[in-house]
């Protein structure tokens, strides 16, 4: 368990300080805005989806290390996936973080680096931080123009 906790801290610090895929995506054709009023985190997620494939994804905004790191890892995991695969990954990640469902060993392996967030479920206030980018991405896929609020 200590190994997972150490890996969690290392990944959060790395992606929180140097987020991947952070910035504008001028040719995005889907986007959504997310806000966590409890923490003050605000993220915009932009996707370039072509023929049902997430070709590119970027995010911008400001937030705590957990929300930024989670969004950063999310962008890495989504590139090249179909919309259906992206939604399925959202569901698996959400189940892992919230503890709403048991996550099998196979699902943990599929989540790869994202599995380090499994301990977040023990800190209910941090669940909203870890899932903000994901809920925002999900809204961007639906392309409904609504702002996601994690309250």
Q: With pLDDT > 70 as the criterion, what percentage of the chain qualifies?
A: 92
Question: Which domain range does residue 68 map to?
Answer: 2-149
Question: Is 112 or 98 the better-scoring residue by pLDDT?
Answer: 98
Q: Distance between CA atoms of 35 and 99, rounded to whole angstroms?
A: 22
Q: Write down the pLDDT at residue 112.
A: 81
Q: How confident is the model at residue 110 (pLDDT cuts 50, 70, 90)?
A: confident
Question: Is 78 or 150 the better-scoring residue by pLDDT?
Answer: 78
Bridge partners of residue 60, in order along the sequence: 44
Q: Map tokens 């806000």 to a residue.
A: 35
Q: Write down the pLDDT at residue 70.
A: 96
Q: Distance between CA atoms of 74 and 83, rounded to whole angstroms?
A: 14
Please tell me the pTM assigned to this model: 0.90
Query: Which residues, including other chains, have CB under 8 Å from residue 128's CB and lie 6 or more apart?
Result: 36, 38, 39, 150
Q: List the CATH number of the domain containing 23.
A: 3.90.1010.10
Q: How many domains does the chain have?
A: 1
């Amino acid at each position: 368990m200590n190994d997972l906790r150490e890996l969690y801290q290392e990944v959060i610090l790395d992606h929180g300080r140097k987020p991947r895929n952070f910035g504008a995506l001028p040719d995005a054709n889907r986007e959504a805005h997310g806000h966590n009023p409890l923490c003050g985190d605000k993220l915009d997620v932009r996707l370039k989806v072509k023929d049902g494939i997430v070709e590119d994804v970027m995010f911008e905004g400001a937030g705590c290390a957990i929300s930024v790191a989670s969004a950063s890892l999310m962008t890495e995991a989504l590139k090249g996936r179909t919309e259906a695969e992206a939604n399925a990954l959202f569901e698996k990640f959400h189940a892992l973080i919230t503890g709403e469902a048991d996550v099998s060993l196979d699902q943990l392996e599929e989540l790869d680096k994202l599995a380090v967030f499994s301990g977040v479920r023990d800190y209910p206030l941090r669940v909203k931080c870890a899932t903000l980018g994901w809920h925002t991405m999900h809204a961007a896929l639906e392309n409904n123009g609504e702002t996601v609020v994690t309250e």
